[in-house]
Structure 1
C-alpha cells in the first residue's frame, strides 16, 4: 500500500459542493448500473479484474486517496469462507476498551470512502474498515456469493477472526444493505446498527433513476450520457466532466472490476421487526437511492425505537456531505447504545 499520511490531520467534512456532486455522480452510476445489469444476471462467479493494467490503474487511484486518511494502526488480510478480506484498523490506548465501530463501504468505493468521517470516529472508538469481498478494493474473492446471507457470513467470520464480540456496525449504500443482512441473519455481534442511505433495504430504487441509468448501459452519444449522469447526480453536465481522486477511483473500479455480488432485496416487515438492538437510519433529502421520505416512514413504522433522520440538502453521498454533524450524532448514539 502506498504511504499514507504519517499523522492525524483534520479532514474537512466538506471539500466543496463540486467535489461532493462529482462523488455523488460516481456513486449513483455505479449503484444503478449494477442494479440494471444484476437484474439480467444470474450466474454465480467470483469478482475479478478485467486486466492487470486495469487493476494497476485502480490501485494507483486507491492509494492516492489514502493520502487523505489517518494512518491505520494495522492492515490485515482476514481469511473467510468466501475469500480474503482486507481490513484496516485504527485504535489507540484511550479508546481501546470501547465497543468498536465496523464500517462497510458502498459499491466500488472500498475503505477510502470513509476519509471524511474517520477523524471524528477514531477519536472516540476503535474502528475496523473492510473492503468488500466480491467488489472492487483489495479484498480477494475465492468462492461465489449466492445471497446476502453469504455476505453476512463473511462479515461475521471476519469479525470472529478479529476477535470482535460486539460492534457498532455502519453501512453506506450497498454496505447498508450488507449491514442489514448481517442484522437479519447473523445479529449476534451487533451492538447497534447504523444505515446510511441503505439501498434496497426499506424501499426499491426510484424508477426515474433506473430509466436514466438504462441510457448509460446502451450505445449512445456521449452528450446524451453526460446528460443522463447529470440527471442522476442532480448536477450539471459541466460537473459531470470533472474528476476528483475519489470519484476517479470509483470510476476505475466500476470500469475495470467485474463484481460478483447478489442483488439486494428489500427487507421484509418481519425481518425489520426482528431488529431488537439500537438502530440509526440516515436518509438523503435529494436524489435518495434509499427511498427518500417513503423509506424513512417505513423505518419509523417498523422500528419505532429507531432514530430515523432525513438529512436536508443531501444526496446519496450523505456521509461525506455532512461528515462532522453526522459523526457527532453517531458518537452520541453509540454511547447511548453501550
Structure 2
C-alpha cells in the first residue's frame, strides 16, 4: 500500500499534507522532526521540550495526524520531552501500512519507535484510536509505562451503533454534511477554524480504515497497574464514556476519571486537565 492509496486522489493527499505543514508552523513550542524506522514502516515524529526531561508520547486518533496536538504541546513541553507521533496507516507522514488490529503489530511498532528515540520509560497520552494504541502497548509492556492518559479510548466498550448511521447519512450530503459531522464530534467546544478545516479536509479526502477496534479482555486490562487518567466528554457521540469509566473502575487500581462538560469525542485543549493529573 502506498500513501496515495489512502486518499481518494493525489490532489487530496497533497492538500492534506500542505495543511499539515501549515499547522506545524503554528506549533506552540520549538520543535524538530524525525523519521524513525520500524519493522512496520518509517514513522514521523515531532519532538519538543528538553531532551533530558522525562519522555511523553502523544498518539492521535483515526483519520488524523500529530497536528491535533499543536495547541497543547506548549504545556506538555514545559515539563516533558514530548514526541507527537504519526500513527502508521493514518493521515500523517508515517508509513501507510495497516497491520491488523488483532495482531501484536501496533505494540511492536510503538516499541520500535521508542527504541529508535532512545526512550526507556514513558508516559503515554492517546486519543480515541491513539488511546487504543496506548492501551495496546501498556498491556504489551506495562513495566515501561509510567503513566497512562486515555482520551475517549477505543477498545473498552463497543462504539455506539447510532454514530455509524449518522456519519454515513451526513457523508452523503457533501461538504455541508461533512462539516456538520465534524462539528458534532467537537460538540460545544470552541474549535479554531484551522482545526475544523483540516479535519473536514481529511474527512472528505482520506479513506478511513474499515473495521472495529478489538475490545480488551479483563485479564489484559488488569495488567494496567500504573496511574491512569480517563478523560471523556459529556457529549461524546461515538462512545459512552460512562460505560467506559464503569468498566475500568472495576479493573484498574489507580484510575482517575475526569469528565469535560460540553465536550464531544474530539477532545481538544485538554492539556490543563492532563497536566494536573501528571503533576505530583
Global fold match (TM > 0.5): yes
TM-score range relative to shorter protein: 0.7 to 0.9
Q: Secondary structure at the match of 2:268?
A: helix
Report matched runs for 1:166-245 at 5 Å.
166-199=121-154, 201-216=155-170, 219=172, 225=177, 229=181, 232-233=184-185, 244-245=193-194
Deviates more, 1:270-279 or 1:286-295: 286-295
Give the deviation of 1:296 after TM superposition: 1.1
Preserved CA contact (<8 Å) 1:299 1:308: no
Is there any run of 5+ residues in structure 1 with no aligned partner, and where? 1-44, 237-241
Q: Give the corresponding residue for 1:145.
A: 99
Partner of 1:20: none
1:255 to 200, 204, 223: 204
SS in 2 for 1:82: coil
Deviation at 1:67, TM superposition (A): 2.8
Matches within 5 A, 1:40-59: 48-59=6-17
C-alpha separation in 1, matches of 2:194 and 2:100: 32
Quote the residue 1:28 is aligned against: none
Query: Which is bigger in relative contact order (C-alpha 8 A, separation at least 6)?
Result: 1
CA distance 1:297–1:260, shift in 2 (3 Å):
closer
Deviating beyond 6 angstroms after TM superposition, the runs of 4 or more aligned structure 1 residues are: none
Q: How far off is 1:233 after superposition? A: 4.0
Aligned CA-pair RMSD: 2.9
Distance 1:284 1:208, change over 3 A: same
Answer yes or no: is the 8 Å Cα contact 1:296–1:310 preserved in 2: no
C-alpha spacing 1:65/1:220, structure 2 compared with 1 (3 Å): closer
TM-score (ref. length: structure 1): 0.73
User: Considering only CA atoms, is the larger Rg found in Structure 1 or Structure 2?
Assistant: 1
Shift in Å, 1:262: 6.1
Residue 308 of structure 1 is matched in structure 2 by 257
Gaps of 5+ in 2: none
Q: Structure 1 residue aligned with 2:224, among 268, 275, 278?
A: 275
